[in-house]
Amino acid sequence: MWLCLCVLLSGCGEPGEVAAGEETYNRYCFSCHAAGLAGAPKTGIADMWAPRLAKGREVLLATTIEGIAPGMPPRGLCQECTDAQLNDAIGFMLSAKP
Ligand code: HEC
Domain map (residue ranges) of the chain: 14-95
CA 16 – ligand 1 centroid, Å:
23
Mean pLDDT, rounded, for 35-56: 96
CATH architecture of 14-95: Orthogonal Bundle (1.10)
- pTM, two decimal places: 0.86
Ligand 1 centroid from CA 4, angstroms = 31
Separation between Cα atoms, residue 14 and residue 12, nearest integer Å: 6
Nearest to 92, CA basis, from 76, 73, 74: 76
pLDDT category, 97, cuts 50, 70, 90? confident
Are 49 and 41 contacting, i.e. CB atoms less than 8 angstroms apart? yes
Higher pLDDT, 31 or 13: 31
d(CA 20, CA 2): 22
What was the pLDDT predicted at 40? Answer: 98
Cis peptide before 70 (omega within 30 of 0): yes
Mean pLDDT of the chain: 86
Q: What is the pLDDT of residue 9?
A: 47
Check residues 15 and 86 and name the one with the higher pLDDT: 86
Ligand 1 pocket at CB < 6 A:
24, 28-29, 31-33, 37-41, 52, 60, 63-64, 68, 71-73, 76-78, 86, 89-90
At residue 73's C-alpha, the angle toward residues 68 and 76, to 5°, is 115
